[in-house]
């Protein structure tokens, strides 16, 4: 696996680069040799952030993000999250990538003891009215939710506004 290390407004030392390459090398047994892993480092409000993304050939991403007070702790946490994702979703990954030439299924360990397959336990139905994204943000905050689904009055498309970790808001606009 090829590892691409970048830093956002941060100089990456050789020690950090070596550490992330060493930790990601344990996933070599899961993926073919031509798969790339992207590790992005940044800091924000005294937190060290590590984002690890492994794009596969069919467009699927395996991704994790960790924020801790220590860069090495963030690396460990991000790697652990990817490991748990692979174990937890082994069956789904096998079905989705059956016959894929970018992932090795026999190397992925079985699910943890006591794992319960997630299920949809509740369905909500609600009417949506056309509104502007700014109005949707206001409605979302009034409801105390982290996201809000609405019909965009300008485009007549279903959109989603959501609250970002940095306190700002995001808008998701689907396209075909």
Confidence grade of residue 108 (pLDDT, cut at 50, 70, 90) = low
Whichever domain contains 9, its CATH number is: 3.30.160.100
Q: Name the region of 173 (left: φ>0; alpha: ψ -120 to 50; beta: rest).
A: beta
Residue-by-residue DSSP string for 96-137? HTTT-SSB-STTSPPPPTT---------------EE-HHHHH
pLDDT score recorded for residue 106: 53
- Higher-pLDDT residue of 67 and 92 is 67
Which of 39, 70, 96 is the last residue in one of the domains? 96
Residue 89 has pLDDT above 80, yes or no: no
Torsion angle, CA of 8/12/18/22, rounded to 10 degrees? -20
Domain count, the chain: 2
- Higher-pLDDT residue of 42 and 109 is 42
- 121 lies in some domain: no
Query: Pairing mode, if any, of strands 61-68 and 130-131?
Result: unpaired
Contact at 8 Å (CB) between 117 and 88?
A: no
Give the angle 30-33-38 at the CA atoms, nearest 5°: 80
- 106 lies in some domain: no
pLDDT score recorded for residue 83: 86
- Which has the closest alpha carbon to 167: 128, 137, 143? 137
Residue 162 has pLDDT above 70, yes or no: yes
- 116 lies in some domain: no
* Residues 11 and 83 occupy one common structural domain: yes
Residue 105 has pLDDT above 90, yes or no: no
Which of 72, 96, 120 is the last residue in one of the domains? 96
**Which among 32-36, 40-44, 57-61, 90-94 has the top mean pLDDT?**
40-44
Contact at 8 Å (CB) between 6 and 40?
A: yes
* Residues 81 and 153 occupy one common structural domain: no
- 108 lies in some domain: no
- Higher-pLDDT residue of 115 and 157 is 157
Q: pTM value?
A: 0.60
Contact at 8 Å (CB) between 67 and 49?
A: yes
pLDDT score recorded for residue 100: 58
- 125 lies in some domain: no
* Residues 65 and 18 occupy one common structural domain: yes
- Higher-pLDDT residue of 70 and 27 is 70
* Residues 17 and 59 occupy one common structural domain: yes
Which tens digits make up the pLDDT trace of 111-153? 555 556 778 888 888 888 899 999 999 988 888 889 999 999 9
The number of CA neighbours under 13 Å toward the Cβ of 140 is 23
Can you give the residue range of the structural domain that contains 135? 130-172
- 123 lies in some domain: no
């Amino acid at each position: 696996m090829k590892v691409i290390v970048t830093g956002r407004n941060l100089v990456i030392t050789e020690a950090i680069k070596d550490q992330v390459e060493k930790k990601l090398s344990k996933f070599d047994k899961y993926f073919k040799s031509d798969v790339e892993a992207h590790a992005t480092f940044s800091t924000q409000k005294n937190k060290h952030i590590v984002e690890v993304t492994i794009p596969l050939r069919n467009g699927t991403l395996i991704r994790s993000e960790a924020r801790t007070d220590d860069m090495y702790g963030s690396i460990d946490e991000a790697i652990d999250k990817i490991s748990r994702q692979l174990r937890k979703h082994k069956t789904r990954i096998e079905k989705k990538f059956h016959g894929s030439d970018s992932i090795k299924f026999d190397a992925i360990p079985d699910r943890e003891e006591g794992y319960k397959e997630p299920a949809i336990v509740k369905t909500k139905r609600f009417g949506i009215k056309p509104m502007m994204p700014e109005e949707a943000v206001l409605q979302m905050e009034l409801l105390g939710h982290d996201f809000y689904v609405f019909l965009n009055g300008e485009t007549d498309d279903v959109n989603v506004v959501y609250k970002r970790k940095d306190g700002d808001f995001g808008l998701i606009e689907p396209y075909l």
